[in-house]
Structure 1
């Protein structure tokens, strides 16, 4: 069915770029993500589409590796930049311009790390979002968006759907339906990734609950979305994959709680997906050390 989109290469690349927000190289996943974002806010949906297109076109114009462009690797950080700006600030002309500039910059930074084979995941988005939020708060008087000023109250359903809520919060969506759509979008491409993400959000929320984080925010998915991403990274069919998922989710949740409790990043807009990146790095480092020790022991025994 993906061949439908392949007839229009740019569309296919943009949709896969959106799907790669949750590490899914699937055009239908990306389309469902966009639908879920537009359902929450047309401004955020348009910002995601504009930024992803800007990042993808930048990669094409700079003649980056075609297989990487086709896989959507230059779209996901760009998409998150676009949604983040529309989530934090009221959409003015300057914000729309920065959505495009931010999407372009995200692709360039992503390429820098890809060329050096450094797994940074959503770090380009985080760096650009932190920089732009800090600069805009310091040097402009652009008001916050309604998503910042309005108080979001948990519903009776949030207690039972906080795992899908966590899927929604990966892309700044607080609506229950958006979260369910995002979960299904991942599931159609990789059921194991979706299910591990679901379980990961539960574990992440439980760890945050033990640390005394506000239960209403846990139910809204605010302490689970980073865990969703970490679980998806290490998901797989081997028994050992479950261990790595558990380790990554625990590390991510602990880092998330620490940064929020000590209010270390409020001046730059918040933690965004940094706990996911940091928790994944920690797990990858432990993986590398473990594999190295096993290889060394095997060589000594031989």
Structure 2
């Protein structure tokens, strides 16, 4: 890893940018994420690499903080934009142009919030994707791509393990069981605690969705788990209060997700759906609680 960082810093920055999708500053995590995407869909894989490169190049050209670029902070929202657009639309020339424009825009928006020390996580990806998907739906007639092979074809049996790992896969729009496992392993390589938290969060997300009688097929493929996976990773830690915070964030994210889906707002549907907005909002609502927890702990210690 050190050799790649020294001899090929741009490759290191790009791969870390992909890894930061699940908050991991790790080259191998990013490489495995790309492997999982390519396994499910080659076009999405190409889009992911292109978007990550554009996000990183944008940060370099605009002379953002080299330390932040090295951490991959300008690649993850950009990468998600690329994957999202090729998930929603057939890869025609205008879509590739929008991937380049959207990835650059995501990096710029990310920088705006980083400079102000506002933790927005994947919000730049969400905002850019909503705008681009809405515009492409409104101004073009580009159809959706050929549907990816359904998750059920990768496994003849649905169980708690496949449901939980599918939550990892859906973070990056991947529906196969194997992609989910690859993503979970990728996080585990970087941070075993975060991977286990993510697994627990995915199961919790599915359980909450079942309590609200959400469609079982959607629950099994991870559509109510991926936001919970991200929330769990954010608050992963070895202290009991970390587990409680992760639980709160997961529960909030899933409930927000369910509410937005049941609201069935037409404009949200035309803009590409809820994406990772429940994760962002659930995390924002939990961060003040974390501050209170730590403030209370410090007062007791004092």
Rounded to whole Å, the distance in 1 between the matches of 2:158 and 2:166 is 7
Is 1:84 the counterpart of 2:84? The answer is yes
1:283 aligns with 2:300: no
Alignment of structure 1 residues 141-290 onto 2, 5 Å: 141-147=141-147, 153=152, 155-160=155-160, 161-264=162-265, 265-290=268-293
- Give runs of aligned pairs for residues 59-138 of structure 1, distance below 5 A: 59-138=59-138
**Cα pair distance change 1:92/1:289, threshold 3 Å:** same
| Cα pair 1:2 1:28 within 8 Å, conserved | no
Which aligned pairs between 1:41-52 and structure 2 lie closer than 5 A? 41-52=41-52
For each residue in 1:134-188, what CA deviation from the matched residue of structure 2 results, as whole angstroms up to 9, or x when unmatched?
Answer: 111111111111238x876574333331111110010000011111100000000
CA contact under 8 A between 2:58 and 2:107: conserved in structure 1?
A: yes
TM-score calculated relative to the size of structure 1: 0.94
SS at match of 1:184: helix
Work out the CA distance in 2 between the residues paired with 1:187 and 1:62.
33
1:256-276 deviation line (CA, Å, top 9, x unaligned): 111111113212110110000
Q: Which runs of 5+ in 2 are unaligned?
A: none
CA distance in 1 between counterparts of 2:241 and 2:290 reads 11
- Distance in 2 between the 1:32 and 1:287 partners? 31
After superposition, the CA RMSD in angstroms is: 1.8
1:73-113: CA deviation from partner (whole Å, max 9, x where unpaired): 00000000000000000000000111111110000000000
Q: Aligned-pair distance for 1:6?
A: 3.6
C-alpha separation in 2, matches of 1:62 and 1:173: 32
The 2-side partners of 1:85 and 1:37 are apart by 14
Q: How many residues align?
A: 298
TM-score normalised per structure 2: 0.94
Secondary structure in 1 matching 2:147: helix
TM-superposed CA distance for 1:239, in Å, is 1.5
- TM-fit CA distance, 1:4: 3.1
User: What is the rounded CA distance, in whole Å, between the counterparts of 2:285 and 2:255 in structure 1?
Assistant: 12
Q: Contact 1:158–1:165 at 8 Å: present in 2 too?
A: no
From the superposition, tell whether residues 243 and 60 of structure 1 become closer, same or farther in structure 2 (CA, over 3 Å): same
Query: Is contact 1:158-1:220 (8 Å) kept?
Result: no
SS at match of 1:147: coil
Q: Distance in 2 between matches of 1:35 and 1:12?
A: 16
Q: CA deviation at 1:289?
A: 4.2
User: Helix, strand or coil: the match of 1:146?
Assistant: coil
Paired with 1:159 and 1:259, the residues of 2 have a C-alpha distance of 27
The farther-off stretch of 268-277 and 281-290 is: 281-290
Report the Cα distance in structure 1 between the residues aligned to 2:294 and 2:33, rounded to whole angstroms. 36
